[in-house]
Structure 1
Amino acid sequence: MTPGFGLVVRFTLRDAAAAVGFDELVSQTLEEIRRHEAGTVVYINHRVPDEPRLRIFYELYESRAAFDAHERQPHVRHFLAEREKYVDKVEVTFLELADGKL
Protein backbone atom coordinates (compact mmCIF):
# COMPACT_ATOMS: atom_id res chain seq x y z
CA MET A 1 0.00 0.00 0.00
CA THR A 2 1.28 3.46 -0.87
CA PRO A 3 0.48 6.18 1.64
CA GLY A 4 -1.47 8.99 0.04
CA PHE A 5 -1.10 11.75 2.62
CA GLY A 6 1.61 12.83 5.05
CA LEU A 7 2.88 15.55 7.30
CA VAL A 8 5.81 16.60 9.43
CA VAL A 9 5.13 18.37 12.71
CA ARG A 10 7.86 20.23 14.59
CA PHE A 11 7.25 20.83 18.31
CA THR A 12 9.38 23.20 20.37
CA LEU A 13 8.85 22.28 24.02
CA ARG A 14 8.90 24.70 26.97
CA ASP A 15 11.76 23.10 28.93
CA ALA A 16 13.26 19.75 30.05
CA ALA A 17 10.36 19.01 32.41
CA ALA A 18 7.89 19.69 29.60
CA ALA A 19 9.82 17.29 27.37
CA VAL A 20 9.31 14.47 29.90
CA GLY A 21 5.57 15.14 30.14
CA PHE A 22 5.21 15.51 26.37
CA ASP A 23 7.02 12.24 25.67
CA GLU A 24 4.78 10.43 28.15
CA LEU A 25 1.67 11.91 26.52
CA VAL A 26 2.94 10.86 23.08
CA SER A 27 3.63 7.29 24.26
CA GLN A 28 0.09 6.98 25.64
CA THR A 29 -1.35 8.36 22.41
CA LEU A 30 0.75 6.03 20.25
CA GLU A 31 -0.60 2.99 22.12
CA GLU A 32 -4.10 3.97 21.02
CA ILE A 33 -3.02 4.84 17.46
CA ARG A 34 -1.45 1.38 17.10
CA ARG A 35 -4.57 -0.27 18.48
CA HIS A 36 -7.29 1.65 16.63
CA GLU A 37 -5.99 3.28 13.44
CA ALA A 38 -5.48 0.95 10.50
CA GLY A 39 -5.29 3.93 8.14
CA THR A 40 -2.30 5.41 9.98
CA VAL A 41 0.66 3.86 8.16
CA VAL A 42 3.53 5.66 9.98
CA TYR A 43 3.43 7.80 13.12
CA ILE A 44 6.86 8.45 14.58
CA ASN A 45 8.12 10.83 17.27
CA HIS A 46 11.77 11.82 16.75
CA ARG A 47 14.13 13.46 19.23
CA VAL A 48 16.80 15.72 17.75
CA PRO A 49 20.39 15.25 18.98
CA ASP A 50 21.70 18.32 20.84
CA GLU A 51 18.23 19.96 20.80
CA PRO A 52 16.44 18.50 23.85
CA ARG A 53 13.40 20.78 23.49
CA LEU A 54 12.67 19.69 19.92
CA ARG A 55 10.43 16.83 18.76
CA ILE A 56 9.61 16.04 15.16
CA PHE A 57 6.68 13.85 14.15
CA TYR A 58 6.63 12.07 10.80
CA GLU A 59 3.16 10.87 9.85
CA LEU A 60 1.89 8.94 6.82
CA TYR A 61 -1.73 7.98 6.19
CA GLU A 62 -3.45 5.84 3.57
CA SER A 63 -5.39 8.90 2.43
CA ARG A 64 -6.59 12.33 3.46
CA ALA A 65 -9.75 10.61 4.73
CA ALA A 66 -7.61 8.38 6.99
CA PHE A 67 -5.89 11.50 8.38
CA ASP A 68 -9.27 13.14 8.97
CA ALA A 69 -10.44 9.99 10.82
CA HIS A 70 -7.23 10.10 12.90
CA GLU A 71 -7.95 13.69 13.90
CA ARG A 72 -11.44 12.71 15.15
CA GLN A 73 -10.22 9.91 17.45
CA PRO A 74 -10.74 10.54 21.20
CA HIS A 75 -7.08 9.78 21.98
CA VAL A 76 -5.92 12.32 19.37
CA ARG A 77 -8.37 14.96 20.62
CA HIS A 78 -6.98 14.36 24.13
CA PHE A 79 -3.39 14.70 22.85
CA LEU A 80 -4.19 17.95 21.03
CA ALA A 81 -5.73 19.47 24.16
CA GLU A 82 -3.06 18.27 26.60
CA ARG A 83 0.00 19.10 24.50
CA GLU A 84 -0.57 22.80 25.14
CA LYS A 85 0.86 22.35 28.66
CA TYR A 86 4.22 21.34 27.19
CA VAL A 87 4.60 23.13 23.85
CA ASP A 88 5.86 26.63 23.03
CA LYS A 89 5.55 26.34 19.24
CA VAL A 90 4.06 23.97 16.65
CA GLU A 91 4.93 24.00 12.95
CA VAL A 92 3.08 21.72 10.52
CA THR A 93 4.16 20.89 6.97
CA PHE A 94 1.75 18.86 4.85
CA LEU A 95 3.35 16.49 2.34
CA GLU A 96 2.31 15.33 -1.10
CA LEU A 97 3.78 12.10 -2.48
CA ALA A 98 6.11 12.71 -5.42
CA ASP A 99 8.01 9.40 -5.58
CA GLY A 100 9.47 6.82 -3.25
CA LYS A 101 10.07 3.25 -2.15
CA LEU A 102 8.26 1.31 0.56
Structure 2
Amino acid sequence: MAFVLVVRMTAREGEQDRAVELIGELSAASAAEPGNVHYLAHRDPDDPWVFLMYEQYRDKAAFEEHGQTEHFKTLGAGELFGLMENRERA
Protein backbone atom coordinates (compact mmCIF):
# COMPACT_ATOMS: atom_id res chain seq x y z
CA MET A 1 0.00 0.00 0.00
CA ALA A 2 1.22 3.51 -0.80
CA PHE A 3 2.62 5.66 2.00
CA VAL A 4 1.66 9.35 1.96
CA LEU A 5 3.09 12.20 3.98
CA VAL A 6 1.99 15.83 3.99
CA VAL A 7 4.24 18.38 5.68
CA ARG A 8 3.42 22.04 6.34
CA MET A 9 6.46 24.20 7.08
CA THR A 10 6.80 27.85 8.00
CA ALA A 11 10.11 29.53 7.20
CA ARG A 12 11.81 31.91 9.59
CA GLU A 13 11.83 35.59 8.64
CA GLY A 14 14.44 36.21 5.95
CA GLU A 15 14.93 32.52 5.11
CA GLN A 16 12.26 32.17 2.42
CA ASP A 17 14.55 32.50 -0.61
CA ARG A 18 17.02 29.91 0.64
CA ALA A 19 14.13 27.63 1.57
CA VAL A 20 12.80 27.85 -2.00
CA GLU A 21 16.22 26.88 -3.38
CA LEU A 22 16.58 23.91 -1.04
CA ILE A 23 13.02 22.72 -1.60
CA GLY A 24 13.63 22.78 -5.36
CA GLU A 25 16.81 20.72 -5.05
CA LEU A 26 15.27 18.31 -2.56
CA SER A 27 12.13 17.89 -4.66
CA ALA A 28 14.07 17.04 -7.81
CA ALA A 29 16.34 14.53 -6.08
CA SER A 30 13.48 12.93 -4.13
CA ALA A 31 11.24 12.61 -7.19
CA ALA A 32 14.02 10.60 -8.87
CA GLU A 33 14.06 7.96 -6.12
CA PRO A 34 12.84 4.57 -7.36
CA GLY A 35 10.25 4.26 -4.57
CA ASN A 36 8.84 7.76 -5.01
CA VAL A 37 5.45 8.14 -6.69
CA HIS A 38 4.91 11.90 -6.18
CA TYR A 39 6.94 14.63 -4.51
CA LEU A 40 5.16 17.95 -4.86
CA ALA A 41 6.11 21.24 -3.25
CA HIS A 42 3.75 24.19 -2.94
CA ARG A 43 4.12 27.70 -1.59
CA ASP A 44 1.12 29.42 -0.04
CA PRO A 45 0.18 32.31 -2.38
CA ASP A 46 -1.21 34.29 0.56
CA ASP A 47 1.64 33.62 2.99
CA PRO A 48 5.11 33.39 1.38
CA TRP A 49 6.60 31.88 4.54
CA VAL A 50 4.42 28.76 4.33
CA PHE A 51 5.32 25.68 2.26
CA LEU A 52 3.35 22.47 1.81
CA MET A 53 5.02 19.24 0.74
CA TYR A 54 3.02 16.27 -0.55
CA GLU A 55 5.05 13.08 -0.69
CA GLN A 56 3.82 9.69 -1.88
CA TYR A 57 5.98 6.58 -1.81
CA ARG A 58 5.42 3.06 -3.12
CA ASP A 59 5.23 1.82 0.49
CA LYS A 60 6.53 2.62 3.96
CA ALA A 61 9.86 0.93 3.20
CA ALA A 62 10.40 3.35 0.28
CA PHE A 63 9.67 6.28 2.61
CA GLU A 64 12.18 4.95 5.12
CA GLU A 65 14.75 4.59 2.33
CA HIS A 66 14.11 8.24 1.43
CA GLY A 67 15.08 9.24 4.96
CA GLN A 68 18.45 7.54 4.49
CA THR A 69 19.37 9.23 1.21
CA GLU A 70 22.25 11.65 1.07
CA HIS A 71 20.09 14.41 -0.42
CA PHE A 72 17.54 14.15 2.41
CA LYS A 73 20.24 14.10 5.09
CA THR A 74 22.09 17.06 3.54
CA LEU A 75 19.36 19.26 2.04
CA GLY A 76 16.38 18.39 4.23
CA ALA A 77 17.48 17.44 7.71
CA GLY A 78 20.87 19.08 7.27
CA GLU A 79 19.81 22.56 6.20
CA LEU A 80 16.16 23.09 5.26
CA PHE A 81 14.68 22.05 8.59
CA GLY A 82 16.94 24.56 10.35
CA LEU A 83 15.42 27.40 8.32
CA MET A 84 11.93 26.60 9.53
CA GLU A 85 10.06 28.19 12.38
CA ASN A 86 7.89 25.08 12.57
CA ARG A 87 7.07 21.85 10.74
CA GLU A 88 3.85 19.88 11.03
CA ARG A 89 3.32 16.40 9.62
CA ALA A 90 -0.14 15.22 8.67
Q: TM-score, normalised by structure 2?
A: 0.90
> How many residues were matched structurally?
89
Distance 1:90 1:49, change over 3 A: same
* Secondary structure in structure 2 of the residue aligned to 1:72: coil
Q: Distance in 1 between matches of 2:4 and 2:35?
A: 12
- 4+ runs of 1 displaced by more than 6 Å? none
Task: Render the CA deviation track for 1:35-74: whole Å, top value 9, x for unaligned.
Answer: 3x01111111111121111000001000000000011000
Instruction: Kindly state the Cα deviation for residue 90 of structure 1 after the two structures are TM-superposed.
Output: 0.4
Instruction: Kindly state the Cα deviation for residue 80 of structure 1 after the two structures are TM-superposed.
Output: 1.0
Alignment of 1:2-81 (within 5 A): 4-15=2-13, 17-35=14-32, 37-78=33-74, 79-81=76-78
* Residue ranges of structure 2 left out of the alignment (5+ in a row): none
* Residue ranges of structure 1 left out of the alignment (5+ in a row): 94-102
The structure whose Rg is larger is: 1
